[in-house]
Structure 1
């Protein structure tokens, strides 16, 4: 987000003796000091007669969760794992397009076979890592190794494209250069692991992949982009390029590398959280690592949900458990009391066991991400994820 560019007096320096003070008509939004410019007119965007915009900047007021919505999530059934149906030739690959515009479209998606299969894929990934550490040995196909290598290449590009010198605190414009290279290289990256007969699928795969790392116009990233990465993996499963025996490696090798890349992008290029709920959201950027991470910790002998408040546990085990790594990253980038900047995660730490945490997060992901029009309006549909 662009910083304010109005003139204001130094907050700590009084006027020189005899200097004439300029007329003041407002106060600086950063420091509270007087400003020579009039305050901007009140936008009607949040008035009663106009609905809120689909994208709210990071500094918009945080909205507390709706108790009725929370109750609906609690009463909803826990999503179940499903086998991904592998597509068979003749293929009819197509450029995927947006379809969702209203709550009715969301209900249509959730009732469709594609919608249920996608949720079931996420649950299956969660179950595949249950009780396993990141470093535990697992089956690693050549495809998985190639995908990991691709993510390492994208990480290396960050070193080659340093952040630009600019006044704005958020949204470093060098990210657009990084993202442009990603888009231009998308097809060649897919060719690294796709068999020849499936290379025409790039027309469908590249848009999901390109949207997995944030938006270059707004220079932001959120759970919708993360969901695109899961959708890209789902499409690879639909093509039979990855199989169920690859699922543990998808989480512990591919997704872990993806998270490392995204956190570096967030820090280096100061990506804004897309559509952040402020303190009332689970996390500014991610959701899936908390689902996968809570599954890892199910039935752990020593670590309980309340263990996130133990610094020694975070320091020693964050490299093995995605949930703890997520908490550690939040504590690294946010200051102050954890209960104040992350009240939802603090509340979850009071849940008695990880199985309840995992099932609750799966229900919450479905309700707060996959069933939200502002997020899913950007989701794409083609032949692999069909609009039914």
Structure 2
């Protein structure tokens, strides 16, 4: 149960939103991790357990399945696709500004201001009528998922906010267990398309990039779920994803290869030089080992790194409270 009592220094919008008929008190999420020692609170939190559980559940769900397999597409999934279509349309309506600096086009701020203003209404349109009280809480994760308007950058922390947004929709019952495949193959995949369009249109900087030592400048989760798709694949092995012919042949069916295709389009020079970590992964013997290694790497490089988690926000659905024994 979220606290309804206001903390000192909080604003009116931090007050909890009660669901009609009682039950869970929703609250506008806020930052709780302000110093490195706070990371232990995060690792023990219900939010961490729920978030990583969500990532693993989807990872298991897509194992060995391509985009072309049969799966359920619910009304909520269709509404989420409409939401992402709206964000895509706004990019078309907000062309890049003419400016001297090559990166960080300021027109992104105009685009972001529209989302900032409309986020609650967009989320309310996705939620069942009896869960609309959750919109202010869940909308925070949508706003956080598209990059930072001050720095005009985007990175794995923003991607994590979108996964948190989807996790919250599951927790309020808007998305169900049989939506698992559609969450990854339809919704998350469409989100990636919109983010790539944002990155290209407004020349966004990678947030907290580790350069050549990072897995990718912008994303991580599609490599995890994408490698799971390939588990037990009869012909494509990890060594094949650096072959452009294989990428061009299979990218429409597999998320991992779609990511590689985007890297190939955006970067020049030998793959081993601009994407060294991925080059190393191509030498791993099996996709199941790649997948297990990427989950470990995600925890170490994203989920347990203070520069990423200091921006994460906690409410009633993803709570900073310790996991109950």
Tell me if TM exceeds 0.5.
yes
Q: Any residues of structure 2 matched to 1:115-130 within 5 Å, and which?
A: 115-130=48-63
Counterparts of 2:157 and 2:22, CA distance in 1: 30
Counterparts of 2:23 and 2:312, CA distance in 1: 25
Q: Would you say 1:230 and 2:163 are equivalent positions? A: yes
Q: Deviations over 1:226-280 (max 9, x none)?
A: 0000001111111011111101000000000000000000001000000110100
* Contact 1:135–1:252 (CA under 8 A) maintained in structure 2: no
Query: Which residue of structure 2 aligns with residue 104 of structure 1?
Result: 37
Report the Cα offset of residue 212 of structure 1: 0.3
Query: Which residue of structure 2 aligns with residue 336 of structure 1?
Result: 269
Report the Cα offset of residue 171 of structure 1: 0.3
Query: Which residue of structure 2 aligns with residue 22 of structure 1?
Result: none
Q: Would you say 1:163 and 2:96 are equivalent positions? A: yes
**Range with greater deviation from structure 2 (108-117 or 309-318):** 108-117
Report the Cα offset of residue 360 of structure 1: 0.6
Counterparts of 2:136 and 2:242, CA distance in 1: 46
For residue 137 of structure 2, the aligned residue among 204, 210, 231 is 204
Q: Would you say 1:372 and 2:299 are equivalent positions? A: no
* Contact 2:76–2:174 (CA under 8 A) maintained in structure 1: yes
Query: Which residue of structure 2 aligns with residue 303 of structure 1?
Result: 236
Structure with more helix by fraction: 2
Counterparts of 1:153 and 1:273, CA distance in 2: 24
Q: Would you say 1:175 and 2:126 are equivalent positions? A: no
For residue 354 of structure 1, the aligned residue among 287, 307, 311 is 287
Instruction: Give me the CA root mean square deviation.
Output: 1.1
Counterparts of 1:384 and 1:207, CA distance in 2: 12
Counterparts of 1:114 and 1:166, CA distance in 2: 41
Counterparts of 2:262 and 2:128, CA distance in 1: 37
Counterparts of 2:238 and 2:279, CA distance in 1: 9
Report the Cα offset of residue 127 of structure 1: 1.1
Counterparts of 1:95 and 1:310, CA distance in 2: 46
Counterparts of 1:113 and 1:185, CA distance in 2: 29
Q: Deviations over 1:336-388 (max 9, x none)?
A: 00000111000000000000000110111111111111110000001101111
Q: Any residues of structure 2 matched to 1:1-388 within 5 Å, and which?
A: 89-388=22-321
* Contact 2:105–2:204 (CA under 8 A) maintained in structure 1: yes
Counterparts of 1:113 and 1:187, CA distance in 2: 24
- Based on CA coordinates, which of the two structures has the bigger radius of gyration? 1
Extract structure 1 runs of 4+ deviating beyond 4 A: none
5+ residue gaps, structure 2: 1-20
Counterparts of 1:194 and 1:135, CA distance in 2: 27
Taking structure 1 as the reference length, what is the TM-score of the superposition? 0.76
Report the Cα offset of residue 135 of structure 1: 2.5
Counterparts of 1:356 and 1:335, CA distance in 2: 28
Report the Cα offset of residue 89 of structure 1: 5.0
